[in-house]
Amino acid sequence: MGLGLKRISSRQVFFLKWLMPLIFILIAGAAGLSVLLVEPRRAPPPMVLVAPILALVIGFVVMRKLVWDLADEVLDGGDYLVVKKGRIEERVPLSNIMNVSATTMVNPPRIELRLVDPGRLGDRIAFSPVKNATLNPFARNAVAEDLIVRVDRARASRKR
């Protein structure tokens, strides 16, 4: 990590993007396989095999929509963010961020940044922020709230 950079993304992204889907596939596969192995001579009812397949399809759609597009790491440099996704590392000035949106009551929590000028990671960057230490499920994320204020200031100074 560079000098003066603060990590604002969750450290659980590797687990969420790679290990969780693997565990999910293994569990769904084991459920489907166990049905076949219980009575190998009798054909199982079709719904018993459809359930694990349906679970895999739904799991794939949810992971694609909520997890696989997350950046691996986001570092805060004050007036810019350093975003790492795979082998790509991009510096994003706060003045290039058009909008900051944060999800509530979704796990993992997400912040999506919409950029004025697209970079190598596209025109939208999503990441899972560091979680607040709160029991309130409706609490706003501190990282998102801070970014919203700072992006607004950076945009205002860009217009001058």
Element (H, E) at 64: helix 46-66
**133 CB burial (10 A radius; 0-12, 13-18, 19+):** exposed
User: Torsion-angle region of residue 73: left (phi > 0), alpha (psi -120 to 50) or beta?
Assistant: beta
Residue 140's pLDDT is 86
Would you state the pLDDT for residue 58? 92
Higher pLDDT, 5 or 33: 5
Q: Which pLDDT belongs to residue 76?
A: 97
pLDDT attached to residue 3: 67
- Tell me the one-letter amino acid at 13: V
CB atoms inside a 10 Å sphere around CB 49? 15
The answer for residues whose C-beta is within 8 angstroms of residue 113's C-beta and 6 or more apart is 81, 92, 97, 99, 100, 124, 125, 126, 127, 147
Distance between CA atoms of residues 128 and 109, nearest Å: 5
Nearest CA-CA partner of 124 in 85, 75, 155: 85
- Cβ atoms < 10 Å from Cβ of 24: 16
Tell which residue, 91, 62, 87, has the closest CA to residue 76.
Answer: 91
Per-residue confidence (pLDDT) for residue 77, from 0 to 100: 94
Question: Average pLDDT of 72-98?
Answer: 96
Residue type, 111: I
Average model confidence (pLDDT) for the chain?
Answer: 89
- pTM recorded for the entire structure: 0.82
What percentage of residues in the chain have a pLDDT greater than 90? 56
